């Protein structure tokens, strides 16, 4: 009887991170070339990537239930996978916000925030690629620091954009809409920082 092929948890985490990065790239493109007439179609790629990650999470969880040996603690695998899922869920929710809030044009600075999101998710992706060799990685610490730096820059941008919004926007509906959008941008970047901090903690725990 053929032995069941050993499940590659690191590979699944890499796919989760890759899809999140692809979604972040697409979100930045949506913001940079924003068109309210095509936002629904433009967002479809992100929706599909989010669905694919949901399937990967289900697959990984099922494997964990039956696994006898895992490369790192089961709980750690589940925690980092859920963090990666939170990132793409946030990006997916952002695309729906543009539709549901009936956004007709992008405010100045939103494109910069979308770029910060993309760079932060990229950093998480690269950190996950390094994760299987964390005991000997020479890049991991720098990748974690870079995501932390992006999060700090995003915090400053978030404060600046909200200050400008409340100071200069006269339409209360627009204020409500864009506060929610800026809050969502900030939450995604925060999730990226939490993800790399979790990775950092796991490295300390497993070395």
pLDDT per residue over 7-54, tens digit each? 899 999 999 999 999 999 999 999 999 999 999 999 999 999 999 999
Domains of the chain: 9-206 (1.20.58.220)
Look at residue 1 in the predicted model and tell me its pLDDT.
41
Look at residue 99 in the predicted model and tell me its pLDDT.
95
Q: Does the pLDDT value for residue 3 go beyond 60?
A: no
What is the value of pTM for the model shown? 0.94
Residues of the chain with pLDDT > 90, as a percent, come to 84
Look at residue 6 in the predicted model and tell me its pLDDT.
82
Look at residue 4 in the predicted model and tell me its pLDDT.
59
Residue count (the chain): 207
Q: Pick the closest to residue 23 from 118, 123, 97, 124 (CA basis).
A: 118
The DSSP symbol for 134 reads T
| Nearest-angstrom CA–CA distance, 102 and 105 | 9
Contact 128, 13 (CB under 8 A): yes
Q: Would you state the structure tokens that stand for residue 69, as one six-digit string?
A: 């040996």
134-149 pLDDT, tens digit per residue, is 877 889 999 999 999 9
| Nearest-angstrom CA–CA distance, 123 and 144 | 7
């Amino acid at each position: 009887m053929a032995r069941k092929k050993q499940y590659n948890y690191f590979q699944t985490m890499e796919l989760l991170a890759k899809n999140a990065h692809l979604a972040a790239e697409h979100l930045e493109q949506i913001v940079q070339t924003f068109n309210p007439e095509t936002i629904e179609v433009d967002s479809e790629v992100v929706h599909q990537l989010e669905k694919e990650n949901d399937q990967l999470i289900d697959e990984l969880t099922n494997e964990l239930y039956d696994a006898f040996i895992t490369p790192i603690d089961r709980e750690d695998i589940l925690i980092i996978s859920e963090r990666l899922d939170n990132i793409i869920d946030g990006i997916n929710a952002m695309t729906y916000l543009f539709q549901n809030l009936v956004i007709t044009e992008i405010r100045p600075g939103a494109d910069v925030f979308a770029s910060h999101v993309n760079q932060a998710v990229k950093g998480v992706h690269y950190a996950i690629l390094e994760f299987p060799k964390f005991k000997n990685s020479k890049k991991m610490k720098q990748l974690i620091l870079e995501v932390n730096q992006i999060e700090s820059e995003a915090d400053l941008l978030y404060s600046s954009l909200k200050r400008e919004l409340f100071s200069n926007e006269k339409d209360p509906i627009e204020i409500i809409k864009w506060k929610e959008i800026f809050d969502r941008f900030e939450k995604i970047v925060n999730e990226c920082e939490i993800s790399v901090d979790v990775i950092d903690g796991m490295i300390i725990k497993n070395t």
